Amino acid sequence: MRIAEMDWRSVEDWTNADDRAVLPLGSVEQHAGLSLATDTILAERVAVAAADPTGIPVFPVQPFGVSPYFQAFPGSVTLRVETFCALLRDMLDSLKRGGFRRILIVNGHGGNAPGASLAQEWLMDNPDCRVRWHDWWRAPKTWAKVIETDPLARHAGWMENFPWTRLAGTPTEGSKGPVDLDRLKTLAPFEARTELEDGSYGGAVAHDDAAMAAIWEVAVAETRALLEAW
């Protein structure tokens, strides 16, 4: 159940019986020919699909993450690590005050990794709560399905090219050689843009929708299993 479809009374009713909630985290950053909001779209969509049968409240996705390396690409937005962690701490504090004690964070962006450490730190100060950090796309079963489909799965390539992240005119054919990620991490943003050209890290542009649907089915089921295990 999306929080957007609830009022405060229905939330209070929920927390009187259950203390689970889902908090999706995303990013707004370049994804080559895909939507700038790809990470945000995917995190929220998998969270809602996973929680839907359970009735567990899903909060609106936090759209901005940590993406300093893409700042030479117009439209990309980044938070500083300290800002992102402070924001996440405030959100967790608010959820606890609202009666939630078991919070699944469905993360859609690798750059948000500092948040996982913050979540552990928050638990140190809130031992009556439980927080699980879930990078949905690289959870064990989902990642195994990705690799089974195509082992070269990288940023802004086929593994993020779903019907709901694809824009009108987004290429569905072609490929690009893999980028040297170790070297890329040493570059300033303007150099990274020159290195990346279109923004993709390499690999196939897309795979057929049937293959993507199979990956998505595993991702939703794996995320739902975490909620139900609580």
How does pLDDT run across 59-97, given as a tens digit for each residue?
999 999 999 999 999 999 999 999 999 999 999 999 999
Q: Where are the beta strands (DSSP E) in the chain?
A: 20-25, 102-107, 130-135, 175-176, 203-204
Q: Which pair of structure tokens corresponds to residue 136?
A: 């949905």
Mean pLDDT to the nearest integer, 96-107: 98
For the whole prediction, is pTM greater than 0.85? yes
Architecture of domain 3-229: 3-Layer(aba) Sandwich (3.40)
Q: How confident is the model at residue 135 (pLDDT cuts 50, 70, 90)?
A: very high
CA distances from 215 to 40, 105, 173 (A): 18, 20, 19
Find the angle CA(227)-CA(225)-CA(47) to the nearest 5 degrees. Answer: 60
**What does residue 199 show for φ and ψ, rounded to 5 degrees?**
110, -15
Where does residue 8 fall: left (phi above 0), alpha (psi -120 to 50 degrees), or beta otherwise? alpha
Q: Quick one: DSSP state of residue 187? A: S
Neighbours of 194 (CB within 10 A): 10
Q: Tens of pLDDT along 105-134?
A: 999 999 999 999 999 999 999 999 999 999
Vertex 107: Cα angle to 205 and 204 (nearest 5): 10
Give the C-alpha separation, 221 to 214, whole Å: 11
Alpha-carbon distance 46 to 107, whole Å? 10
Of 132, 120, 126, 50, whose CA–CA distance to 94 is shortest?
Answer: 126
Residues 189-230: pLDDT tens digits? 999 999 999 999 999 999 999 999 999 999 999 999 999 999
- Helix residue spans in 103-188 (DSSP H): 114-125, 140-149, 181-184
Q: Is 51 exposed, middle or buried (0-12, 13-18, 19+ CB in 10 A)?
A: buried
Give the model confidence (pLDDT) of 12-65 as tens digits: 999 999 999 999 999 999 999 999 999 999 999 999 999 999 999 999 999 999
| Residue 66: predicted pLDDT | 98
**pLDDT score of 169 more than 90:** no
User: What amino acid is encoded at 29 in this protein?
Assistant: E
